[in-house]
Chain A
Amino acid sequence: MDFSLTEDRRMLSDSLNRFISDKYGYDHRVKVAYDAPFHDTALWAEMCELGVLYALAPEDAGGFGGAGFDITTVFEALGRGICPAPVLGSLLASKLLTAAGADQSALLDGSVRYAVAIGELDAPYDLDAIETEAKDGKLTGRKAVVYGGADAKVFLVAARSGGTLAVYEVKASDAQVTGYALIDGGGAAELFLDATPGTEVLADATAALEDALDAGRLALCAEAVGAMDATNEILLDYLRTRKQFGVAIGKFQALQHRAVDLVTEIEQARSITILAASKMGAEEQAKFVAMAKTLIGRAARLVAEEAIQMHGGIAMTWEAAVSHYAKRLVMIDAQLGDVDYHLERVIATYAA
């Protein structure tokens, strides 16, 4: 039993945390996160030089990581710094390209930005309900809220082909892409496909898609843990310094006990994320990832709502950092399966 990070991961964590706090500081983050391309492309290149993307891919795919704890190390730092860089799309794409045995050197060095288009308006999480269709190398359908899609050069698109799901590579320049900012910062896009040419990357891709999604879900859990830690620090600092009735509001038991409950939930969230990370690649991966995403969905929303409430009016302002963390924490639930979706997956394991 060892709950410390390996030397390599600790170094990656330290350098990424330092990079984000030095260069992607809060003011800069807010400035770039809501205007196209919704992140800082110069910093993207620098981040890639740090090896962030290589850490997400296994050695035989050209990376130097790819394990559950590599993913959590990177995303916890991104969450802590509420970084809008489109790393999630890169992770999902790297997973799919690894499954396909395809070359991904341009993805890993950051020179070609990928996004992965799976969800649709009426199929935000369910692979079974996907309607986008591929016929003779042409794709038709609409992909909704494609993370990092606003300035991606290449899309990996899940589409129905005959009776199975397959993954196609579609050039952004061949499709109609409507990019936009998300309410919690960072970019996404609607991808409209109308007999748009695509190259098959993976046939019969359901298992590979689920595996990539699990990696993405784990990443989001870790991102939430980082963001919850940061939110909690901001909150505690506020409770210690904000005075009302002549005392720091942290002296009031009505707030103290709620603050303790948040810490309790955050520790549980950290624990279930560690557990899910340890199960990546194991038979029980899907079950534990579903458990983690369920707990995280709930904990993150609680932390967000309570942090706003305990701050009071100031948390309602754009200027306060806590408001941006709260938005990120709430909206993470809607990414790659919410509480209800994953709770159903857990319940499904009770059958028999």
Chain B
Amino acid sequence: MDLSFTKEEEAFRDEVRTFLADNLPDDLAEKVRIGGELEKHDMERWHAILNDKGWLAYGWPVEFGGTGWSPVEKHIFEEEAARANAPRIVPFGLAMLGPVLQKFGSKEQQDHYLPRILDGTDWWCQGYSEPGAGSDLASLKTRAVRDGDEYVINGQKTWTTLGQHADWIFCLVRTKTDGKPQEGISFILVDLATPGIEMRPIKLIEGGHEVNEVFFTDVRVPAANLVGEENMGWTIAKFLLGHERTNIAGVGFSMKALEEVKALARRTKRNGKPLIENPLFAARIADVEIELEAMKITNLRMLYTAQTQGAPGPETSILKIKGTVIRQALNDLARRALGPAAAPFPSEAMFGNAALVEAGDVNNAADYFNNRKLSIFGGSNEIQRNILTKAMLEL
């Protein structure tokens, strides 16, 4: 048993820290710190800075322009990036499609798309969920019918995150209607400029525009855009889900959020005393801190398994369940620490108020509501429990 990082890993952490200190723009870090909405150019700017360093595709193997980092190194990078308030790396091209193309794509597809992900030419979004296919993804109905050298796509996708910025969408489509639902799904790449596609915003619970619905009407896509074989989309989807799980615990975000909650509870007063001196509120913080301290070790134990045995197992679903519950609990505490001051609807007027921004308080209620999504997306926590029931408990 040895919980410490090696000398090399500590040196790597220093390198990451120094890089972030020197290269993460202050205005971006500040925007992340106060929970402001990142615009497209903000995210692109941060991507470009990381790409110059060669760290943007930090989960990719070296031969595709990645870093080749070990699971532990990736973890250190994520932890430090969160600590420094770096914008999160938009995952759709880098963490999702990239690994799919590397595993299932043709040489042509790899050579064409991967560099464009790295240099920011293509912004990707995800076309998985449908109005009738959420947790039961395999029941998806969006049809792709082969017509010569093309597929003709009709249907609707939803929850397409940041689709408003995207140039391309990777989709799961139905190419076969008989047999088991999982056996008739294909994975296809679609240029959003193709005629017949309409993207409409979905306004979320806190008022933000983060996700979209996408309508496909007789959209003609070259058959060459199919990834892998026809009807092997489910295999790809499952592989991708596994990749979505890196950093699934969100330990770095939670550590940051805990720090913020404590700071907030120190400067907010109740009955003339700092809120943190109220034993009831302090106990709520302690409950979460204890879970988070345990979670950090649970995360490292699974990293250790990934590092020593090759791949993470189904037990990473534990990280999803516990990690999201912890993040939500911290959002809840931040909101409650503010009391009625959490109530104002985030607006230009609020963000323009230096006193409020200085307190870092403007967005806490909105974050709380927005982050209810954490236990729903990427396979709801109930789906994670189903996965664990089968794979780990063998019930």
Contacts and interface: CB of A to CB of B under 8 A. Distances in A.
Interface in A229-262: 236, 239-240, 248, 250-251, 253, 256-257, 259-261
Contact of A271 (B283, B295, B385): B295
B337 interface: no
Interface stretch (B33-41, B209-217, B387-395): B387-395
Contacts of A278: 1, 3
A261 B393 CA distance: 11
Interface centre among B294, B303, B389, B395 (most CB of A within 10 A): B294
A155 interface: no
Contact of B1 (A5, A236, A294): A5
A1 interface: yes
A275 B300 CA distance: 11
If over half of A's interface residues share one DSSP class (helix, strand or loop), that class is named, otherwise mixed; here it is helix
B283 A347 contact: yes
A1 B286 contact: no
B294 A269 contact: yes
Nearest to A256: B389
Contacts of B303: 1
Interface centre among A1, A248, A277 (most CB of B within 10 A): A1
B392 A263 contact: yes
Contacts of A257: 382, 385, 389
B2 A2 contact: yes
Contacts of B286: 294, 343, 346-347, 350
Interface centre among A264, A269, A288, A343 (most CB of B within 10 A): A264
Nearest to B4: A1
Interface string A1-40: 1111110000000000000000000000000000000000
B125 interface: no
If over half of B's interface residues share one DSSP class (helix, strand or loop), that class is named, otherwise mixed; here it is helix
A268 interface: yes
B313 to A, nearest CB: 12
Contact of B285 (A2, A350, A351): A350
Contacts of B30: none
A240 B315 CA distance: 20
Interface string A29-56: 0000000000000000000000000000
A272 B276 contact: no
Contacts of A261: 385
A257 B303 CA distance: 25
A291 interface: yes
B298 A271 contact: yes
A189 interface: no
Given A260-B389, A343-B283, A347-B283, A272 B293 contact: yes
A4 B9 CA distance: 19
A195 interface: no
A256 B393 contact: yes
Nearest to B303: A1
Contact of A1 (B3, B283, B298): B3
Given A269-B294, A295-B291, A263 B282 contact: no
A278 B388 CA distance: 29
A19 B19 CA distance: 54
A5 B285 CA distance: 33
Given A263-B318, A268-B294, A250 B395 contact: yes
A346 B382 contact: no
Contacts of A346: 286, 289-290
B297 interface: yes
A274 B283 contact: no
B370 to A, nearest CB: 24
B3 A272 contact: no
Interface centre among A253, A278, A350 (most CB of B within 10 A): A350
A69 interface: yes
Contacts of B393: 236, 239, 250, 256, 259-260, 263
Interface string A267-284: 111111011011000000
Contacts of B291: 268, 295
A251 B3 CA distance: 38
Nearest to A236: B393
A271 B1 contact: no
A79 B100 CA distance: 45
B2 A271 contact: no
Contacts of B267: none
B321 interface: yes
Interface string B1-26: 11111100100000000000000000
Nearest to A346: B286
Contact of A291 (B290, B384, B388): B290
B137 to A, nearest CB: 18
Interface centre among B290, B298, B303 (most CB of A within 10 A): B290
Interface in B273-296: 276-277, 279, 282-283, 285-287, 289-291, 293-296
A1 B6 contact: yes
A272 B395 contact: no
Given A256-B389, A263-B392, A267-B315, A272 B294 contact: yes
B395 A274 contact: no
Interface string A78-114: 0000000000000000000000000000000000000
A282 to B, nearest CB: 11
Nearest to B265: A350
Contacts of B282: 347, 350
Contacts of B276: 350
B301 interface: yes
Given A1-B6, A259-B393, A260-B393, A275 B388 contact: no
A336 B301 CA distance: 28
- Please list the 5 inter-chain residue pairs (A to B) with the smallest Cβ-Cβ separation, ordered nearest first: A271-B297, A250-B395, A272-B294, A256-B389, A268-B294
23 contacts: A1-B4, A1-B72, A3-B1, A3-B300, A4-B1, A6-B1, A239-B395, A240-B394, A260-B393, A263-B392, A264-B321, A270-B298, A272-B297, A274-B3, A275-B294, A291-B289, A294-B290, A295-B290, A343-B286, A350-B262, A350-B276, A350-B285, A351-B277
Interface of A: 1-6, 69, 236, 239-240, 248, 250-251, 253, 256-257, 259-261, 263-264, 267-272, 274-275, 277-278, 288, 291, 294-295, 343-344, 346-347, 350-351
Given A3-B1, A274-B1, 10 more contacts: A1-B9, A1-B303, A1-B304, A256-B385, A259-B393, A271-B297, A272-B297, A274-B3, A346-B290, A347-B279
Interface of B: 1-6, 9, 72, 262, 276-277, 279, 282-283, 285-287, 289-291, 293-298, 300-301, 303-304, 307, 315, 318, 321-322, 382, 384-386, 388-389, 392-395
